Amino acid sequence: MLFRSTATTVVNAALETAYLRDLMTETTSRSFEKDPTTGLFRCEPGFTGSDCTQLKCPFSMSFATSNIEEDFVFTPSTASHIITKWPANGQETTNGKQLQCQKDTTFDNQHVYRECGGRGLCDRSTGECKCFPSFTGEGCRRTTCPNDCSGHGQCRTDANSFYYIGQTPKVPYGTQIPTYSKARGASTEGIYWPLLKYQQCHCDAGYEGDDCSLRQCPRGDDPETECNTDRGEDIQKLTCKFQGGAKKAFFQLRFIDQFGGEYDTRPIKVDVDAMTAAENANSIQDALEALPNFAIPQVEVDFDDTSKTDPKIDVKFTDGHNTGKQQLLMYKAKSACTSGSQPLFRTAGANGDLTCTVARIALPDGDKYRESKTCSNRGICDQSTGRCNCFDGFFGLACDHVNTYI
């Protein structure tokens, strides 16, 4: 049996223009009917060319600002809009050579939408952009990260880097504009156009550099500068208060080491009734020293339970791995996943059973902290391996020890 393909004219409600549709294949023809006046095809959305056989590529916001006086090339509807110049005479200012052109259009901030964002070439056979080096994404809408962060970091947009996921700038809209982005007549939202277009590497702990390819070397105290006034150790005080009449509690501490690694202790138990001050101090000390990767090899903890409702905790960093000022400990009164903690970490109060604030105890007048210098200033850091090549007479992971010759 032979079937004959027939065509019928169908009206497109959105474009109010007839196009051809094959009844047998139920597929739409790539081209509208020819314009009887010009003889040209009227192409369906997504197609272009004299015969509508070429595909369009995705559009994205251009990286470069447009010539606002001639942007009708991309947005024909703006051709007749009024142009306002500053200065009004259309001449650059003497101070700063500034000249602005403004038009009452959607693209008031001058970044128009362009095919492939103006940072790639459109492959008309596939409708996909072939982005120039250093650009990627649909419509070449964002930059790549150097060397894909070398496998030792995350590639994040400026939105994530500066404002973090789910957060917004302090002043989303209005007239307050950072100094580096000030421009007369530009609305505040105009300075946020690059937040999803530019990306940068956020390196894993122990790595640095634009592409996270460089290893960090250990830091330590310079053994040649030790003196009576250069032996200060960082002491941090936790001023605490039990909530709701509680006398025992679990909490956690977060520590950030010299390489930027973040570590959370296991839930720490304190009990001012059933445990002595020494036992409470040991509970905290053991949890801190148990952090992985030798984050805190040794630490001294003092627990003052003179007040059963307002205990005080001193944490003193004494190990050579933790010289200089450490980042303040972060106190966590409750766990985000109580049933997943080990040991089980539940609190009776909504905000925890024990709340604490952390502050640094200042050194006595005239005293200085021990240095925290790369390779202790007594070696050269090999950033390909993250190891220190110590000068003669010095040794240790951070070159912080001196050989004794007999």
How many whole angstroms separate alpha carbon 383 and alpha carbon 213?
8
Q: What are phi and psi of 152, to 5 degrees?
A: -125, 35
* pLDDT of the residue at 364: 84
> In this model, does residue 77 exceed pLDDT 60?
no
The residue with tokens 């996943």 is 337
Provide the pairing of β-strand 379-382 with 268-271: unpaired
CB 18 within 8 A of CB 12: yes
pLDDT of residue 81: 61
Q: pLDDT category, 111, cuts 50, 70, 90? A: confident
- Stretch 149-154: mean pLDDT, rounded? 94
User: What's the residue count for the chain?
Assistant: 406
pLDDT value for 68: 63
Q: Is the peptide bond before 87 cis (omega within 30 degrees of 0)?
A: yes
Distance CA 288, CA 291 (A): 6
Q: Which range, 59-73, 104-118, 260-274, has the best average confidence (pLDDT)? A: 260-274
Q: Say what the pLDDT of residue 142 is.
A: 94
- % of the chain residues with pLDDT over 90: 47
Residue 328 backbone dihedrals phi, psi, to 5 degrees: -60, 140
* Alpha-carbon distance values, 291 to 53, 205, 280, 296, 334 (Å): 63, 15, 18, 7, 19
The answer to which of 67-81, 190-204, 206-220, 360-374 has the lowest mean pLDDT is: 67-81
pLDDT recorded at residue 88: 78
Check: CB of residue 311 under 8 Å from CB of residue 248.
no
Mean pLDDT confidence for 17-26: 43
Give the confidence band of 102 by pLDDT, cuts at 50, 70, 90: low
State residue 66's pLDDT score: 61
- Burial (CB < 10 A; 0-12, 13-18, 19+), residue 184, is exposed
Cα Rg for the chain, rounded, in angstroms?
33
Q: Which residue has the higher pLDDT, 279 or 232?
A: 279
